[in-house]
Protein backbone atom coordinates (compact mmCIF):
# COMPACT_ATOMS: atom_id res chain seq x y z
CA UNK A 1 0.00 0.00 0.00
CA UNK A 2 2.97 2.37 0.30
CA UNK A 3 3.23 2.55 -3.51
CA UNK A 4 -0.33 3.85 -3.82
CA UNK A 5 0.35 6.61 -1.32
CA UNK A 6 3.58 7.79 -2.93
CA UNK A 7 1.80 8.75 -6.16
CA UNK A 8 -0.83 10.85 -4.37
CA UNK A 9 -0.73 14.65 -4.41
CA UNK A 10 1.07 16.36 -1.56
CA UNK A 11 -1.19 17.10 1.42
CA UNK A 12 0.03 20.31 3.05
CA UNK A 13 -0.31 21.29 6.68
CA UNK A 14 -2.96 23.83 5.73
CA UNK A 15 -5.61 23.53 3.02
CA UNK A 16 -4.75 23.99 -0.67
CA UNK A 17 -8.35 24.65 -1.64
CA UNK A 18 -11.28 26.38 0.12
CA UNK A 19 -14.08 24.54 1.91
CA UNK A 20 -17.22 24.53 -0.22
CA UNK A 21 -20.48 25.47 1.52
CA UNK A 22 -22.96 26.91 -0.94
CA UNK A 23 -24.86 29.97 0.21
CA UNK A 24 -28.45 29.35 1.26
CA UNK A 25 -30.87 31.00 3.62
CA UNK A 26 -28.77 30.34 6.73
CA UNK A 27 -27.56 33.33 8.73
CA UNK A 28 -23.99 34.25 7.84
CA UNK A 29 -21.26 36.56 9.11
CA UNK A 30 -21.48 40.00 7.52
CA UNK A 31 -18.89 40.67 4.85
CA UNK A 32 -18.36 44.09 6.43
CA UNK A 33 -16.37 42.53 9.29
CA UNK A 34 -14.03 40.40 7.16
CA UNK A 35 -10.62 42.03 6.77
CA UNK A 36 -7.94 41.12 4.23
CA UNK A 37 -6.00 38.76 6.51
CA UNK A 38 -5.51 37.77 10.13
CA UNK A 39 -1.95 39.10 9.83
CA UNK A 40 -3.31 42.56 9.19
CA UNK A 41 -5.57 41.93 12.17
CA UNK A 42 -2.51 41.79 14.43
CA UNK A 43 -1.44 45.29 13.40
CA UNK A 44 -5.02 46.54 13.77
CA UNK A 45 -5.17 45.01 17.27
CA UNK A 46 -2.04 46.95 18.30
CA UNK A 47 -3.59 50.16 16.97
CA UNK A 48 -6.95 49.51 18.69
CA UNK A 49 -5.18 49.07 22.02
CA UNK A 50 -3.34 52.35 21.48
CA UNK A 51 0.10 50.75 21.63
CA UNK A 52 3.18 52.41 20.16
CA UNK A 53 6.82 51.58 19.39
CA UNK A 54 7.70 52.16 23.06
CA UNK A 55 5.24 49.42 24.14
CA UNK A 56 6.54 45.87 24.65
CA UNK A 57 4.32 43.02 23.45
CA UNK A 58 5.16 39.55 24.77
CA UNK A 59 5.24 36.70 22.26
CA UNK A 60 5.74 32.92 22.49
CA UNK A 61 8.92 31.15 21.38
CA UNK A 62 9.14 29.81 17.81
CA UNK A 63 6.52 32.27 16.60
CA UNK A 64 6.37 32.86 12.85
CA UNK A 65 8.28 35.75 11.30
CA UNK A 66 5.01 37.13 9.91
CA UNK A 67 3.73 37.70 13.46
CA UNK A 68 6.91 39.49 14.49
CA UNK A 69 6.57 41.63 11.36
CA UNK A 70 2.94 42.68 11.79
CA UNK A 71 3.21 43.39 15.51
CA UNK A 72 6.54 45.13 14.98
CA UNK A 73 4.93 47.58 12.57
CA UNK A 74 3.33 49.39 15.51
CA UNK A 75 4.91 48.10 18.75
CA UNK A 76 7.99 46.20 19.93
CA UNK A 77 7.71 42.38 20.11
CA UNK A 78 9.60 40.64 22.93
CA UNK A 79 9.77 36.89 23.78
CA UNK A 80 7.58 36.29 26.86
CA UNK A 81 10.48 34.76 28.79
CA UNK A 82 12.33 38.10 28.48
CA UNK A 83 9.28 40.35 28.99
CA UNK A 84 9.82 42.65 32.01
CA UNK A 85 6.78 42.91 34.27
CA UNK A 86 7.32 46.62 34.83
CA UNK A 87 7.31 47.53 31.15
CA UNK A 88 4.91 44.97 29.67
CA UNK A 89 2.02 46.54 27.74
CA UNK A 90 0.45 43.49 26.06
CA UNK A 91 0.89 39.78 25.47
CA UNK A 92 0.05 37.73 22.39
CA UNK A 93 -1.45 34.34 23.27
CA UNK A 94 -1.34 31.72 20.54
CA UNK A 95 -3.54 28.64 20.27
CA UNK A 96 -0.84 26.65 18.52
CA UNK A 97 -2.35 24.61 15.68
CA UNK A 98 -5.77 25.15 17.24
CA UNK A 99 -4.98 23.51 20.60
CA UNK A 100 -6.60 25.77 23.17
CA UNK A 101 -5.04 25.98 26.62
CA UNK A 102 -7.37 26.15 29.62
CA UNK A 103 -8.49 29.33 31.38
CA UNK A 104 -6.04 28.43 34.16
CA UNK A 105 -3.15 29.21 31.79
CA UNK A 106 -4.59 32.63 30.99
CA UNK A 107 -5.23 33.38 34.67
CA UNK A 108 -1.61 32.47 35.43
CA UNK A 109 -0.49 35.02 32.87
CA UNK A 110 -2.80 37.76 34.18
CA UNK A 111 -1.60 37.13 37.73
CA UNK A 112 2.02 37.77 36.77
CA UNK A 113 1.33 40.66 34.41
CA UNK A 114 -1.43 42.62 36.13
CA UNK A 115 -3.42 45.04 33.95
CA UNK A 116 -1.80 43.52 30.85
CA UNK A 117 -3.69 43.77 27.53
CA UNK A 118 -4.23 40.39 25.89
CA UNK A 119 -4.35 39.68 22.16
CA UNK A 120 -5.54 36.12 21.56
CA UNK A 121 -4.26 34.70 18.28
CA UNK A 122 -6.76 31.95 17.40
CA UNK A 123 -5.99 31.71 13.69
CA UNK A 124 -5.60 27.90 13.71
CA UNK A 125 -8.71 27.29 15.84
CA UNK A 126 -11.93 26.23 14.14
CA UNK A 127 -15.00 26.60 16.40
CA UNK A 128 -18.53 25.60 15.47
CA UNK A 129 -19.27 29.32 15.11
CA UNK A 130 -16.76 32.18 15.09
CA UNK A 131 -19.35 34.56 16.53
CA UNK A 132 -20.47 32.30 19.38
CA UNK A 133 -16.88 31.42 20.27
CA UNK A 134 -15.83 35.08 20.37
CA UNK A 135 -18.76 36.00 22.63
CA UNK A 136 -18.20 33.07 24.98
CA UNK A 137 -14.50 33.91 25.37
CA UNK A 138 -14.86 37.69 25.53
CA UNK A 139 -13.78 37.97 29.16
CA UNK A 140 -10.51 36.15 28.47
CA UNK A 141 -8.89 38.68 26.12
CA UNK A 142 -9.09 42.26 24.90
CA UNK A 143 -8.77 41.19 21.27
CA UNK A 144 -9.45 37.83 19.57
CA UNK A 145 -8.22 37.11 16.05
CA UNK A 146 -9.51 34.35 13.75
CA UNK A 147 -8.51 33.33 10.22
CA UNK A 148 -10.70 32.17 7.33
CA UNK A 149 -7.58 31.36 5.34
CA UNK A 150 -5.89 28.97 7.78
CA UNK A 151 -9.10 27.22 8.85
CA UNK A 152 -11.24 27.22 5.69
CA UNK A 153 -8.67 27.86 2.95
CA UNK A 154 -10.69 30.89 1.87
CA UNK A 155 -7.88 32.70 0.06
CA UNK A 156 -7.40 35.26 2.81
CA UNK A 157 -9.78 36.72 5.36
CA UNK A 158 -9.47 37.58 9.04
CA UNK A 159 -11.86 38.41 11.88
CA UNK A 160 -11.01 40.69 14.80
CA UNK A 161 -13.22 40.65 17.92
CA UNK A 162 -12.93 43.61 20.31
CA UNK A 163 -14.10 42.93 23.87
CA UNK A 164 -17.23 44.94 24.66
CA UNK A 165 -17.68 46.06 21.04
CA UNK A 166 -17.84 43.01 18.78
CA UNK A 167 -16.36 42.47 15.33
CA UNK A 168 -14.09 45.12 13.90
CA UNK A 169 -15.64 46.67 10.80
CA UNK A 170 -13.57 46.41 7.62
CA UNK A 171 -13.96 50.04 6.58
CA UNK A 172 -13.50 51.53 3.15
CA UNK A 173 -11.39 49.68 0.60
CA UNK A 174 -8.50 52.09 0.16
CA UNK A 175 -6.70 50.14 -2.55
CA UNK A 176 -9.51 49.40 -5.00
CA UNK A 177 -7.71 50.70 -8.08
CA UNK A 178 -4.51 48.87 -7.14
CA UNK A 179 -6.47 45.65 -6.59
CA UNK A 180 -8.12 46.02 -10.01
CA UNK A 181 -4.72 46.34 -11.68
CA UNK A 182 -3.27 43.39 -9.78
CA UNK A 183 -6.37 41.30 -10.55
CA UNK A 184 -5.74 41.75 -14.26
CA UNK A 185 -2.26 40.36 -13.77
CA UNK A 186 -3.58 37.43 -11.71
CA UNK A 187 -6.06 36.59 -14.46
CA UNK A 188 -3.26 36.23 -17.01
CA UNK A 189 -3.24 32.56 -17.95
CA UNK A 190 0.49 32.74 -18.68
CA UNK A 191 1.39 33.95 -15.17
CA UNK A 192 3.51 31.33 -13.40
CA UNK A 193 2.56 30.01 -9.95
CA UNK A 194 5.42 31.74 -8.16
CA UNK A 195 4.44 35.19 -9.42
CA UNK A 196 0.76 34.47 -8.69
CA UNK A 197 1.57 33.48 -5.10
CA UNK A 198 3.67 36.59 -4.51
CA UNK A 199 1.04 38.97 -5.88
CA UNK A 200 -1.75 37.24 -3.95
CA UNK A 201 0.36 37.40 -0.77
CA UNK A 202 1.05 41.10 -1.32
CA UNK A 203 -2.67 41.83 -1.53
CA UNK A 204 -3.39 39.86 1.66
CA UNK A 205 -0.59 41.45 3.63
CA UNK A 206 -0.42 45.02 2.37
CA UNK A 207 -3.71 46.06 0.76
CA UNK A 208 -6.76 47.37 2.60
CA UNK A 209 -9.02 45.24 0.41
CA UNK A 210 -9.88 41.58 0.11
CA UNK A 211 -8.14 39.42 -2.48
CA UNK A 212 -10.07 38.48 -5.64
CA UNK A 213 -10.04 34.83 -4.53
CA UNK A 214 -11.54 35.71 -1.14
CA UNK A 215 -14.21 37.90 -2.70
CA UNK A 216 -15.20 35.10 -5.06
CA UNK A 217 -15.39 32.57 -2.22
CA UNK A 218 -17.47 34.91 -0.04
CA UNK A 219 -19.97 35.50 -2.85
CA UNK A 220 -20.63 31.79 -3.24
CA UNK A 221 -20.22 30.30 0.23
CA UNK A 222 -21.69 30.60 3.72
CA UNK A 223 -19.00 31.00 6.40
CA UNK A 224 -21.11 29.55 9.22
CA UNK A 225 -22.05 26.49 7.16
CA UNK A 226 -18.43 25.97 6.05
CA UNK A 227 -17.22 26.28 9.64
CA UNK A 228 -19.60 23.64 10.98
CA UNK A 229 -18.76 21.32 8.08
CA UNK A 230 -14.97 21.55 8.43
CA UNK A 231 -15.14 21.40 12.24
CA UNK A 232 -16.98 18.07 12.02
CA UNK A 233 -14.53 16.69 9.44
CA UNK A 234 -11.53 17.68 11.55
CA UNK A 235 -13.02 15.87 14.54
CA UNK A 236 -13.65 12.77 12.41
CA UNK A 237 -9.93 12.70 11.64
CA UNK A 238 -8.90 13.17 15.25
CA UNK A 239 -10.79 9.98 16.13
CA UNK A 240 -8.44 7.99 13.88
CA UNK A 241 -5.64 8.51 16.41
CA UNK A 242 -6.29 5.59 18.76
CA UNK A 243 -6.43 5.55 22.57
CA UNK A 244 -2.74 4.69 22.92
CA UNK A 245 -1.74 7.88 21.13
CA UNK A 246 -4.44 9.91 22.90
CA UNK A 247 -3.22 8.82 26.32
CA UNK A 248 0.26 10.11 25.51
CA UNK A 249 -1.18 13.65 25.38
CA UNK A 250 -1.51 15.86 28.47
CA UNK A 251 -4.96 16.16 30.06
CA UNK A 252 -5.75 19.62 28.68
CA UNK A 253 -5.36 18.32 25.11
CA UNK A 254 -7.37 15.18 25.82
CA UNK A 255 -10.15 17.36 27.24
CA UNK A 256 -10.30 19.38 24.03
CA UNK A 257 -10.62 16.18 22.02
CA UNK A 258 -13.49 14.96 24.22
CA UNK A 259 -15.34 18.29 24.31
CA UNK A 260 -16.99 18.89 20.94
CA UNK A 261 -18.01 22.40 22.01
CA UNK A 262 -14.37 23.53 22.02
CA UNK A 263 -12.70 24.53 18.73
CA UNK A 264 -11.34 21.70 16.60
CA UNK A 265 -7.52 21.74 16.22
CA UNK A 266 -6.02 21.65 12.75
CA UNK A 267 -2.71 19.82 13.23
CA UNK A 268 -1.86 16.83 15.43
CA UNK A 269 1.57 17.01 17.13
CA UNK A 270 3.38 13.69 17.48
CA UNK A 271 6.38 13.44 19.81
CA UNK A 272 8.51 10.54 18.58
CA UNK A 273 11.21 8.10 19.59
CA UNK A 274 14.39 8.00 17.51
CA UNK A 275 15.90 10.48 15.09
CA UNK A 276 12.98 12.79 14.41
CA UNK A 277 14.52 14.36 11.29
CA UNK A 278 14.90 10.96 9.63
CA UNK A 279 11.39 9.91 10.69
CA UNK A 280 9.88 13.14 9.36
CA UNK A 281 11.54 12.68 5.96
CA UNK A 282 10.50 9.02 5.84
CA UNK A 283 6.84 9.84 6.55
CA UNK A 284 6.96 12.64 4.00
CA UNK A 285 8.40 10.29 1.36
CA UNK A 286 5.94 7.48 2.06
CA UNK A 287 2.75 9.44 2.61
CA UNK A 288 3.23 12.80 0.86
CA UNK A 289 1.96 14.64 3.93
CA UNK A 290 3.14 17.98 5.28
CA UNK A 291 6.75 18.94 4.67
CA UNK A 292 9.93 17.02 5.56
CA UNK A 293 10.87 19.11 8.58
CA UNK A 294 10.40 19.24 12.33
CA UNK A 295 8.42 21.66 14.47
CA UNK A 296 8.31 22.53 18.17
CA UNK A 297 5.10 22.21 20.18
CA UNK A 298 4.31 23.42 23.71
CA UNK A 299 2.68 20.50 25.53
CA UNK A 300 2.33 22.40 28.84
CA UNK A 301 -0.93 24.07 29.80
CA UNK A 302 1.01 27.28 30.38
CA UNK A 303 2.13 30.29 28.39
CA UNK A 304 4.71 31.27 31.02
CA UNK A 305 6.32 27.85 31.55
CA UNK A 306 6.22 26.13 28.15
CA UNK A 307 7.21 22.54 27.59
CA UNK A 308 8.58 22.57 24.05
CA UNK A 309 9.27 19.31 22.24
CA UNK A 310 10.23 18.52 18.68
CA UNK A 311 7.24 16.96 16.95
CA UNK A 312 5.91 15.64 13.68
CA UNK A 313 3.02 17.76 12.38
CA UNK A 314 0.10 15.73 10.95
CA UNK A 315 -2.69 17.78 9.31
CA UNK A 316 -6.32 17.24 10.37
CA UNK A 317 -8.10 19.29 7.71
CA UNK A 318 -10.50 17.54 5.36
CA UNK A 319 -8.14 17.46 2.37
CA UNK A 320 -6.32 14.55 4.01
CA UNK A 321 -8.27 11.37 3.37
CA UNK A 322 -9.24 9.32 6.41
CA UNK A 323 -7.76 6.21 4.79
CA UNK A 324 -4.40 7.97 4.52
CA UNK A 325 -4.49 8.92 8.20
CA UNK A 326 -5.29 5.32 9.10
CA UNK A 327 -2.16 4.20 7.24
CA UNK A 328 -0.01 6.85 8.93
CA UNK A 329 -1.22 5.77 12.39
CA UNK A 330 -0.57 2.13 11.48
CA UNK A 331 2.93 3.05 10.32
CA UNK A 332 3.64 4.81 13.61
CA UNK A 333 2.51 1.77 15.58
CA UNK A 334 4.41 -0.70 13.41
CA UNK A 335 7.61 1.29 13.90
CA UNK A 336 7.01 2.23 17.58
CA UNK A 337 7.47 5.88 16.67
CA UNK A 338 5.40 7.85 19.18
CA UNK A 339 6.40 8.39 22.82
CA UNK A 340 4.20 7.25 25.70
CA UNK A 341 4.17 10.58 27.54
CA UNK A 342 4.52 13.89 25.70
CA UNK A 343 5.09 15.95 28.85
CA UNK A 344 8.34 14.21 29.88
Q: Please say if the pLDDT value at position 82 is more than 70.
A: yes
44-64 average pLDDT score: 95
Q: Please say if the pLDDT value at position 264 is more than 80.
A: yes
How confident is the model over 309-343, as pLDDT tens digits?
999 999 999 999 999 999 999 998 888 887 766 76
pLDDT at 94: 95
Distance of CA 186 to the CA centre of its chain: 26
- Furthest-apart CA atoms within the chain: distance in Å: 59
User: Among residues of the chain, what percentage have pLDDT more than 90?
Assistant: 62
Confidence of residue 1 (pLDDT cuts 50, 70, 90): very low
Helix or strand (DSSP H, E) at 331:
helix 322-334
Q: From the CB of residue 3, how many other CB atoms can be counted at a distance below 10 Å?
A: 7
pLDDT at 7: 42
Average pLDDT, the chain: 88
- Rounded to 5 degrees, what are φ and ψ at 234? -60, -45
pTM value is 0.90
CA separation for the pair 36, 45 (Å, rounded): 14
Amino acid sequence: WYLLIVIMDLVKLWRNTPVAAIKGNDVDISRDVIISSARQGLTKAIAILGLKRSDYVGMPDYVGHCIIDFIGRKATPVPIKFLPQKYASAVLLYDQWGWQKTSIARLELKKKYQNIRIIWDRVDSLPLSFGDEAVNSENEADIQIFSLSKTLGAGGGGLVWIAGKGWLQQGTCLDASLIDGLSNILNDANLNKQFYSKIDGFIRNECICNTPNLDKWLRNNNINTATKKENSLRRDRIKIFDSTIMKSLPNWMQNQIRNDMLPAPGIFPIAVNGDIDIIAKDIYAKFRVGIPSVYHFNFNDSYLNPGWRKVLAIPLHSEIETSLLVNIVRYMHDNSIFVNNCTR
